[in-house]
Structure formats: C-alpha cells, structure tokens
Amino acid sequence: MNILSGYKYNPTIGLGGYYVYNDVATGGGVQEGGAPNGAANPDLTWETSEQVDFGIDARFLDNRLSFTLDWYRKMTKDLLVDINPYPEVGVSTITVNSGEILNTGVDIEVGWRDHVGDFKYSINANFSPLKNEVQAVNELLPRYTQGGISGFNQKVKSTFEAGHTIWYFRGFDYLGVYSQSSYGMVGDKEFNAANEGRPIYGGMVPDLNADGSQKVDAEGNALTKWGAVFAPNEDTDMVDLGSGIPKFTYGVTLNLEWKGFDLTVFGTGASGNKIYNLMVSADRPRVNGLNTWWLDSWRKDESGNYTIQGKYPDMNYVAKDWVFFSSSANVFSGSYFKFKQIQLGYTIPQSITKKFMVSNLRLSVSLDDYFTITSYPGADPETSSFDNGASRGWDNGNYPTSKKVVFGLNLTF
C-alpha cells in the first residue's frame, strides 16, 4: 500500500486498478492490478528561490512628505513541473526540474500630508511596475500548457515558455478583414471579391522569389516566411498574445478633512494585463454572450454589398469558428482604473452630541466600486482573472463586483 505518494523521484507500485476476466453470473473474477505510479527521476532536486530586496524609507519636510521605494528581484530555479515525458516511456506524467523564472519589480509609494488652516489633506499614491519572465526551461519540454477553462473547444492555451511572461496566451494573430484595401496582405495580385469580408490571420507562407518561384534552402526544402493567411495552422502560426499579469499596478488615496467633513477617494488600477474572453461560444453562436464583434463587423445590405465595414469580419464567416475566437480578436486589454471607494462623511460636532451622551457620531455615504475606467467589453476586468496561476486572465463570465452605495452611521458612547 502506498501511504505517502509525494515522493516523485522514486515512484512506488500502486495497487487498485483491475481487470475483470469473468461475467457477473460466474462470480465476478475481478483481478486487482499493480503498476508503478510513475517513472523515476533520480535527477530530481529541490526548487530554490533567491530573492534580493533593496529599499529606502524616507520622510522629509517634517514628516509631510513620505517616500518609500522597494526594489526586488526574485529568481526561482528548478521549478518542479509535471510534464509529459516521451510517450515511449509509458507514463503520462513525470516530475522534472524545469524553468527559471525571474520576477522583478519596484514598489514606489509617495505620500504628502499637510494642512492649510482647518483644511487637512493627504495624498498617497503607489506605483508598482513588475516584470515577470521565464528565462529557461527544461530542454525536454520547451513549451507546455496548463490551466485555462475546460469544456470549450478554444485553441488558446496558457503557455509556459522561455523568453515570455509566465502563462502567456498563445493564439492566432488576427490581422483584419480581407477587402479592397487589404487584399495585398494575403499576397493576392488582384482583389478577389469572393473573399471579401473574411478574416485574415498571421501565418507562415511560402517564401517566393520575385518571379513567383519557390525559394529553397541548401537541401532543397521549401522556405517559408511570416505573412498573412485565411486558415492559420495551429503548429506554426500561433503567437504570444499577452498575459494576464499586468505591467504595472497603481493606486491613489486622497483624504480631505474640513470642519467635520471628510472625503476619501481611493482607487486602484492595473495596466498591461490582457484578458481572454470566453463569454462566447463558437459551438453555440446564439448563446447570450458578448456582442462586441457583432456591433463592429462587416455587414451586407439586401443587394449583397458590404455597406457597413468595421474592425471585425462578416460574422457569417466567424460566428461558428473557434479559430477567430482563439485569436487576438478575442484577447482584450484588461487595463482598468477603479474608484474603489468615494466616501463622504460628516462628524457631528462633539458639542452637540455630548448632550446625548454620545461622544462621537459620524454619518457617511460611500460609493463603493462605483466607477471603472476601462475599455474592456466584458463584465469586470478586476474579477476577470479566473483563478490564479495558469488560469489568470481567463474570463468565463465571473460575477462582476457589484456597485454599492453604503450609508454609514458610527456611534461611540
């Protein structure tokens, strides 16, 4: 019996599978099976992580100006990863050390606190750019995927690969719509009206000489180069579409106080993160989902001419096509700035409240999560991180944060 199964470097024999040699009528005949849990990896070693931190904390001008700066650099090495080994080894996963991941960034915080007579105010702002990069991977598996949302037939996968941010979206590159002005992108010498309104994607195309003949290398293999195609290929034509990790996050807090009134404005934001939207399904195009593409697509009128043009192709061509919904057309910027709280409060002067044996009475009204500045067409860019880790940035219709109007009453006796 295998009580402890965490020892991935040397798997043990697991019992519990079975095969039945007989029929029910003749007694069952269940034979228990025994097979190794996995494949041994004697080279397995511990994951290590080294971090360097450097910071400054400063106060100036009578504590009115505060400044904090923190720089960090964290390198995680020998990341333990379950990969699929060569299929010929005969087990579906094996744990190896793979990956060096670099996380580095700066946290800057600045604050100013002062008063002009009765009027007190303070502003605090923080700004944190961060960089995340996978620097090296195990050569056995230069690229692998994980996470995301299962149950859809999309082709975008969260991918782990050297030279990119961790868990970046890997999908097709949507370039635009085939039209009178863009037909040259696919290499057509003349505009072909039959293809008008179709989507064009980035992809590998044959590399041709000026006279149209195929360029070949020393061994006679046909050369290809990056160009534009109608039907991109999953093996060769997928690119980095960004990742759910923001380039920087920031926040602002503003406090004002005057004669019993206080106003707090607090907001946070992120920028540079992308969201892959799955509030749509090419298998069920009539489902209730995002209409962003429909509103801005090429449309024909009754006579069959494209009178309306837009950013997205004729939906007749793409509404049922997972290739379109696995491209940059479906990866949106998730940058946002949200006013998390705008609170106005009033403390009734103690001189009045003392009469009622109340030492402190404060009334407040607050707008929470009320205003969001974003171009993201989905429900809420903040909650659109589905899960963490590899599934960050996948939006499957996560419930948005509700806007709240909160009335408050604070009593201290």
Partner 1 sequence: MLALVAGGVALTSCEDKLDIAQKASLTTATFYQSDEDAAKALASAYEQFQCNTMGRAMGPGIYTPARVLANHPGDDVNYGGSMYGDHEFGGSVDEFRFKHTPEAIDYHYKGLYLSIFPDNLVIENFDGVEGETQFQKQAVAEARVLRAYNFFLLACYWGQPPFIDHSITMAETPTNSEMTQQQYFVWVGDECMKAADDLLERQSTADKEGAYRITKGFAWAMAGKAYMFAGEFGKAKDCLKKVIDSGKYALVSGDEWMDLFHIEGDGAPEKVFEVNVRYNPGAGEWSTGSGLGWNQHSTWMEPQCFQIRTGYFKKPPLNTYNGGVEGWGSIGLPEWYAAAFVANDGLDSKRLKSTMVNIEDLIYGTTGIESIDTYYSKLKNIPKDRAGLAKWDKIGISEIAGHYGQSFWIPIKHVIRAADASEGDNKYGNVHRLNNIIIMRYAEVLLNYAECCIRTGAASEAGDYIRMIQERAGSKTVLSGTPTIIDLKKEKSFELWFEGCRYQDIMRWSKLDNDSYDNEALDHMKVQGKHIPHLVDRVFRDPKDYPGDEDRVWQHSADGSDKEDRFYLYHTHEAQDAGYQVGWQEKHRLFPYPQQVMEMNPNIVQNPGW
Q: Give the footprint of partner 1 on this chain (CB under 8 A).
A: 1-4, 7, 10, 12-24, 26, 29, 31-36, 39-41, 46, 84-92, 94, 96, 140-143, 153, 229-231, 233-235, 282-283, 317, 320-323
Residues 6 or more apart whose CB falls under 8 angstroms from that of 189 comprise: none
CB of 319 to partner 1, least distance (A): 10
CA-nearest of 134, 165, 168, 324 to 241 is 168
Nearest to partner 1 of 4, 116 (CB atom): 4
Q: In sequence order, which residues have a C-beta less than 8 Å from that of residue 48 and are 6 or more positions away?
A: 76, 77, 78
Cβ closest to partner 1, residue 85 vs residue 378: 85
Report the distance separating Cα 196 and Cα 232, nearest Å: 17
Q: 114 or 283, CB closer to partner 1?
A: 283
Work out whether strand 157-161 and strand 119-136 pair parallel, antiparallel, or are unpaired. Answer: unpaired
Do the beta carbons of residue 330 and residue 172 sit within 8 Å?
no
Query: Please, which residue, 12 or 398, has the CB nearer to partner 1?
Result: 12
CB of 97 to partner 1, least distance (A): 12
Q: Which is nearer to partner 1, 3 or 357 (CB)?
A: 3
Pair type for strands 168-171 and 239-243 = antiparallel
Q: Which is nearer to partner 1, 72 or 230 (CB)?
A: 230
* For partner 1, the closer CB: 87 or 117: 87
| Residues 370, 348 contacting (CB under 8 angstroms) | no
State which residue, 26 or 288, has the beta carbon closest to partner 1: 26
Beta strand segments in 86-222, E:
94-97, 100-116, 119-136, 143-146, 157-161, 168-171, 174-177, 199-206
C-alpha span between 403 and 4 (Å, rounded) = 48
Residue type, 333: S
DSSP SS3 for 330: helix
Closest separation in Å from C-beta 273 to partner 1:
28
Instruction: Tell me the three state secondary structure of residue 317.
Output: helix
Q: Which of 122, 128, 112 is nearest to 69 (CA)?
A: 128
**What's the closest the beta carbon of residue 113 comes to partner 1, in angstroms?**
33
Run of H or E including 66: strand 65-77
Q: Give the nearest distance from C-beta 150 to partner 1 in angstroms.
A: 8
CB of 325 to partner 1, least distance (A): 11
Half-sphere exposure in the Cβ direction for 32 (13 Å, CA): 6
Return the DSSP state at 298: -
CB contact at 8 A, 11 and 4: no
Choice between 28 and 260, CB closer to partner 1 = 28
Instruction: State in angstroms the smallest separation of the CB of 107 from partner 1.
Output: 24
Are 410 and 377 in contact, with CB atoms under 8 Å apart? no
Q: Are 36 and 12 in contact (CB under 8 A)?
A: yes
Q: Which phi and psi (to 5°) does residue 296 adopt?
A: -125, 40
Q: How far is the CB of 250 from partner 1 (least distance, A)?
A: 34
Residue with Cβ nearer partner 1 (41 or 66): 41
CB of 72 to partner 1, least distance (A): 18
**Closest separation between CB of residue 283 and partner 1, Å?**
6
